[in-house]
Amino acid sequence: MNVLVIGANGQIGNRLVDQLKEAGHNPVAMVRKEEQIDQFKEHGVDTVLADLEKDFSHAYQDIDAVVFTAGSGGDTPKSQTKVIDRDGAIKAIDEAEESGAERFIMVSALKANRDPETWSEPMEHYYDAKAKADEHLRDSNLNYTVLMPGQLTNEEGTGNVELKERIDSFDTKSITRDDVASVIVGLLDAEKSFGKSLELLQGDTTIEQEIAELE
Ligand SMILES: NC(=O)c1ccc[n+]([C@@H]2O[C@H](COP(=O)([O-])OP(=O)(O)OC[C@H]3O[C@@H](n4cnc5c(N)ncnc54)[C@H](OP(=O)(O)O)[C@@H]3O)[C@@H](O)[C@H]2O)c1
């Protein structure tokens, strides 16, 4: 599958591109700076130079699936969260529909689909941006999955996760970026995950089993 990775230079994005390649897919790394291209080329990964704040429709040529794992990051003003996590994501969904890329996986965040009353400062604007982009995806004609991981860590992946439409107890739990990338690779052609919003945390069950057990 030709998979456009939006946010490929990011911490999940980097891991995802490598894992997609290992799994026999053809990742296309969307990056926004010239100097980010070589690191992907050295690994035989196709790249496309495009910026979510400009016209990025050219990135969708011959693309079968899109993974949105970009983000404005914690060090930018709140307004940038609206620009990237909300409006950039919404544009990415619209471009997928227009281009004919049928599969779309959104890296959202745990709590984004919960009652806004449970959101507290300083994260409220972030969940709001994520929720609006997720809602736009649910309203699209795409074979979507909204993936909502908990707090991300850079520890080595364990291969064991909890992946459910609703996880009841999650106050202190996290998930490695390695495992998020592995889950995305596993979900790509898992039809049972189409049209679903899934919460993701570290758990005791293998990724394969959790995906197989989706209703
Ligand atoms: N941090 C957490 O605990 C947490 C928890 C749940 C979900 N998430 C979500 O998980 C996703 C990935 O997280 P991460 O840690 O991998 O993020 P990250 O390392 O900050 O990567 C984000 C990527 O987005 C790219 N980006 C920003 N603005 C862009 C633009 N205008 N055009 C194109 N690309 C742009 C950045 O590009 P540059 O490399 O050029 O800066 C970067 O590569 C994000 O959506 C985040 O909100 C995070």
Active site residues: 126
Q: Is 196 in the pocket of ligand 1 (CB under 6 A)?
A: no
Cβ(174) to ligand 1 under 6 A? no
Given a contact cutoff of 8 angstroms between Cβ atoms, the answer to whether 109 and 149 are in contact is yes
d(CA 93, CA 84): 13
**Residue 32 beta carbon below 6 angstroms from any ligand 1 atom:** yes
pTM over 0.85: yes
| Structure confidence at residue 138 (pLDDT) | 98
pLDDT for res 14:
98
Domains of the chain in start order, with CATH, are 2-212 (3.40.50.720)
Per the structure block, which two tokens stand in for 171? 């106050």
d(CA 173, CA 132): 24
Nearest to 19 by CA among 206, 195, 215, 184: 184
Q: What is the pLDDT of residue 74?
A: 83
Give me the pLDDT at residue 171, please: 67
Q: Which portions of the chain are predicted below pLDDT 50?
A: none
Q: What is the pLDDT of residue 188?
A: 98
Ligand 1 geometric centre to CA of 207 (Å): 23
pLDDT at residue 120 in the model? 87
